Amino acid sequence: SYELTQPPSVSVSPGQTARISCSGDALPKKYGYWYQQKSGQAPVLLIYEDSQRPSGIPERFSGSTSGTIATLTISGAQAEDEADYYCYSTANSGEGVFGGGTKLTVL
Amino acid sequence: EAQLVESGGGLVKPGGSLRLSCAASGLSFNTAWMIWVRQGPGKGLEWVGRIKSKKDGGTIDYAAPVKGRFFISRDDSKSTLYLDMNSLRTEDTGVYYCTIFGVFMGRGYWGQGTLVNVSS
């Protein structure tokens, strides 16, 4: 079955740039999406169609895809950005899949 | 503002059935592709299945672990999405969310989730 691979954890100092990667063979042909989930809350859509930012999402969040790697970049990370981050895409079969999630620590 | 509200979760014995509902308001539900996502205790997000809009064919796809046991449907006249879950297993325990695939009017929307506990 199709898989998206993320690092389990990423650490960043306040004000620095954090990058979270997501690897998947179909990413060159299928859009990537990114979600943020804070403890005890429903996920929030951060990025859709590889690099589009929904209204209301801060500009410090951006997305890009190069080949089989999608990347979520948080420029000037803030303490409130501590959360779990998930990438999402679709397999060639149409089945959806989430990455395993990355825990971002801001310290 | 658009909103999604799930209901129907609860405690059920292994082998039992449950129907979850997701009521949508403030959006063009009939044009939306809808997805069910679940999250087991302490685990990551898991895609359960997706139903396309009727104008896009109404195609339904399921994740392998639920295929043949779970069934997704929609009633556009009621702006409601359903998830019928049968032959429930302990590993189906978790919070179930409904969400719109992609964005609506430039924003993403998720429900607050409903807890399903499969236990004897």
Cβ contact, residue pair A96, B50, below 8 Å? yes
Inter-residue contact B46 to B35 (CB < 8 Å): no
What tokens were used for A12?
A: 């960043």
Across B34-61, b (16+ Cβ under 10 Å) vs e yields bbbbbbeeeeebbbbbbbbbeeeeeeeb
- For residues A54-82, average pLDDT: 97
- For residues B61-76, average pLDDT: 97
Chain B positions in Cβ-Cβ contact with residue A44 (cut-off 8 Å) = 108, 110
* pLDDT for the residue B63: 96
DSSP three-state, residue A79: helix
CA angle, B22 then B25 then B26, to 5°: 150
DSSP E strands in B32-77: the ranges are 34-39, 45-51, 60-62, 70-75
* pLDDT for the residue B1: 86
B108: nearest CB among A37, A44, A94? A44
Question: Within an 8 Å CB–CB cutoff, is residue A58 touching chain B?
Answer: no
- Model confidence at B95: pLDDT above 90: yes
pLDDT, chain A, mean: 96
- Model confidence at A1: pLDDT above 90: no
What number of other Cβ atoms are within 10 A of residue B30's Cβ?
A: 13
Give the model confidence (pLDDT) of A9-41 as tens digits.
Answer: 999 999 999 999 999 999 999 999 999 999 999
Question: Within an 8 Å CB–CB cutoff, is residue A86 touching chain B?
Answer: yes
Cβ contact, residue pair B45, A44, below 8 Å? no
* pLDDT for the residue B89: 98
B108: nearest CB among A54, A94, A96? A54
Within the 22-41 window of chain A, which residues sit less than 8 Å (CB to CB) from chain B?
Answer: 33, 35, 37
